[in-house]
Amino acid sequence: MKAPEHPSELLRLIPDLQKEGILEQGNSASIRIGNRVWITPSDVNFTQFSKKKNPNWVELYLDQTSLPENSPRFANLHLTLYKERKDFNTIIHTTQENILTCSMAGETVLPYLDDMAQIVGPSAKVVSFGETEEALKKIVKGIKRRNAVMIKDQGAICGHRTLDDLHAVCHVFEKACKSFIEARILGGGKPVPWLEAEAIRFVYQRKYSKQADKNR
């Protein structure tokens, strides 16, 4: 799986992301190639957007300080994460049902499933959104060593190196949040122990890193 080379790759994936509930009205998706970023505009109709040969992407540079009027709400956060996480080439803001519920609960989601520890991280934190430098730093810290962070009351930001991997993160995290909610309501479930979750994540990242090197 290679890093994306053109924004059309994200465009082709949007219909599937819509069908699966990963992208909805008010969400945003972006792709980074070099020091340039293409992000979906504010109030985008994803169905119409994905059908266009030349959609009206918001085109940005990583060092850009002022944003166009049609930039989505989290555009500056996308840029900040790209600058801080060199391993991120694509980012999605998603409000899938269970992810949104957990973000509103404001509680760190622990992995009740091994694949969350592996693909998302040993936990998923909740951080309040803000545009100040301090607020953005807290979000960056919240996603450190992870591929998702919840934004209080607003779903989650997910990021990865490739589109396929990002797609997997969104799926796994939604499933993990569902398991977390059910365990809290019904009881009986036990999260993966912290040390084991860290080990699972470490092994996965080492294997992923080796595979990524082969694909370069």
**6-13: average pLDDT:** 96
Q: What is the pTM of this model?
A: 0.94
Mean pLDDT, rounded, of the chain: 94
Q: What is the pLDDT of residue 187?
A: 83
Confidence of residue 206 (pLDDT cuts 50, 70, 90): confident
Confidence of residue 212 (pLDDT cuts 50, 70, 90): low
| Torsion (CA) 88, 93, 97, 101 in degrees, nearest 10 | 90
| Three-state SS letters, the chain | CCCCCCCHHHHHHHHHHHHCCCCCCCCEEEEEECCEEEECCCCCCHHHHHHCCCCCCEEEECCCCCCCCCCCCCHHHHHHHHHHCCCCCEEEEECCHHHHHHHHHCCCECCCCHHHHHHHCCCECEECCCCCHHHHHHHHHHCCCCCEEEECCCCEEEEECCHHHHHHHHHHHHHHHHHHHHHHHHCCCCCCCHHHHHHHHHHHHHHHHHHHHHHC
Per-domain residue ranges of the chain: 8-215
CATH topology (fold) of 8-215: L-fuculose-1-phosphate Aldolase (3.40.225)
Query: Is the predicted pLDDT of residue 66 greater than 70, yes or no?
Result: yes
Query: Is the predicted pLDDT of residue 133 greater than 80, yes or no?
Result: yes
Query: Is the predicted pLDDT of residue 215 greater than 90, yes or no?
Result: no
Query: Is the predicted pLDDT of residue 180 greater than 80, yes or no?
Result: yes
Kindly report which listed range (76-85, 148-157, 197-206) carries the lowest average pLDDT score: 197-206
Q: What is the pLDDT of residue 56?
A: 95
